[in-house]
Structure 1
Amino acid sequence: MVQMLSCLRAFLLGFVIVLGFSGVMVGTGSGVFLYQLHDYSLLTPTGVDGPPASLLGLSALSCVLAWFIWQFDYSSKSQVISLATLITIIGVIETCVGIWALVRHQQIYALPEKVLQKAVLALSDSKSEDLWHRIHIKLNCCGINGASEDFRQQHKHVPWSCCYEPQEIENNKKNCERGCHHLVIHRTQSILLYTFLLALSSIILKACTISLAWCYAKAITEGMLHRRKMLRIASQASAIAMTKIANQPMSDEEHGINLSPSV
């Protein structure tokens, strides 16, 4: 029983360490996704940054929880149950965040009209110029629907970032006519899908930690019951021995009678 508790405790500590490192990895991935969504903010629907932002906060909470759990001595059942309960709460919230990301992934097919109008206005806004350049360079596209529709027909200058890496003249023209609208939609869907997978991996790890914690708590309970049983058996054996001693007839020497022959 003692060896089993030691093994379970070692495994539990290992999972706690992995839980902390996974929190760092999930936080890093969520931060990267948020940065990418910020770059595409001119052509993304509102609210798509909610799942990765929530996952980032939960990852920070997981790291703090892992450090807090590391301070436990795992000597009592209540500590282990508290550990499992806290991890379960975070796991349930991460499950909701993953479902949220998956639902948003399924809902995004085209930009709402208000977002498109805002993006059209942003084409002429000098404050949004840097964001447009980033989108053009990263996705090798131009404007919302292409250079002709967004710039040439409006008698506007085509930004230098459009067709940033041309190879041939024909390819240059083709890339310039490729708008960023649907490319950003596909990229946003990919980010939300990756957010769901990131949350799923974290949930699986937490489920393993919770299962191990409950096994450890059960082992502690069984160990306590085993010790109580052994103490009860020992006390019963001691009582039986004392009863036998009390009922045993006393010898003559114990009565103080000298049976030696008189001279």
Structure 2
Amino acid sequence: MALSSNCWKYLVLTFNVLFAMSAVVLFGISGFLLYRLFIYRHFIGVSVQYPVILLLMMAIITCSIAWIGWRTTKSMHQIHVILAGVLIIVVVIIEFSCFVWAMVVWDNIEIDIKTTMTSYFMLTGENKDTNSDSVRWDRLHVKFECCGVSGPNDYSSTGHVPFSCCGQGPLDSIQKPYTSDCSVLYQRGCGTPLRDYAKSQILMVAMTALVASMLQVSANYRNLYKLAH
């Protein structure tokens, strides 16, 4: 038995509210994960951020769909609900694509980060007049307790090791850039810990996209099923 007009309007309103809430949550999580990757963009590369950027865009589009659905509910016919459901399915497919894309990035991230870090390390060595690049490396060294890309030997060509490889912060590095005797010199390179950090963030992106797509397609299916019966 088909639902009455008031019943399915109430159902659509409820669905739009829940759909909008899920979009807001998705926006918050994807925005946070994008920030976590963005702060190390010089070392991990921009391509690693693409899946979470797309996921953030889907959250914004989902909010727009929910708002349009809310605005048109009073005059909405059943065909409009079905069309809205199809549009939501398209969003869900794209969100699932974000999951697949993130897993591909996760699988290849070691090579991407190694290449990007090595290029940026060489660029920093060439641009000795650019202090901002050195400060970024200092912050990376202190954050992950590491030195260079593969270890302190990376600085053998320069003849000095950054003071941050001894655990001193960026401000200390600006005042006293280098030191010859460190009591505690980080021996591991930053490639491995940064890779592990980025992989954990990308895995969270993939899981967020998967859960969002599954929840939204489930809710949309129940909504259309109730309207059709």
TM-score range, shorter chain: 0.7 to 0.9
Rounded to whole Å, the distance in 2 between the matches of 1:162 and 1:123 is: 19
Q: Any residues of structure 2 matched to 1:1-263 within 5 Å, and which? A: 9-71=9-71, 72-73=73-74, 76-111=77-112, 114-124=115-125, 125=127, 126-146=131-151, 148-151=152-155, 154-160=158-164, 162-164=166-168, 173=184, 176-219=186-229
What's the TM-score once normalised by structure 1's chain length? 0.69
Q: Percent of counterpart pairs with the same letter?
A: 23
Rounded to whole Å, the distance in 2 between the matches of 1:36 and 1:161 is: 23
What's the TM-score once normalised by structure 2's chain length? 0.79
How far off is 1:162 after superposition?
Answer: 4.8
Please identify, of 115-124 and 5-14, the stretch whose mean Cα deviation from structure 2 is larger.
5-14
Matched-pair contact (CA < 8 Å) for 2:102–2:206: yes
Rounded to whole Å, the distance in 1 between the matches of 2:150 and 2:201 is: 22
Matched-pair contact (CA < 8 Å) for 1:80–1:216: no
CA deviation string 1:142-181 (max 9, x = no partner): 22122x313366322423375249xxxxxx736x112111
The one-letter code of the counterpart of 2:188 is R
The one-letter code of the counterpart of 2:32 is V
Task: Show structure 1 runs of 5+ residues with no match.
Answer: 166-171, 220-263
Residue 246 of structure 1: aligned partner:
none
How far off is 1:55 after superposition?
Answer: 0.5
CA deviation string 1:241-263 (max 9, x = no partner): xxxxxxxxxxxxxxxxxxxxxxx
Instruction: Give the RMSD, CA atoms, in angstroms.
Output: 2.8
Matched pairs, number: 211
Task: Show structure 2 runs of 5+ residues with no match.
Answer: 170-182
Q: Which one has the largest radius of gyration?
A: 1
The one-letter code of the counterpart of 1:173 is V
Matched-pair contact (CA < 8 Å) for 1:33–1:52: yes
Rounded to whole Å, the distance in 1 between the matches of 2:148 and 2:50 is: 26
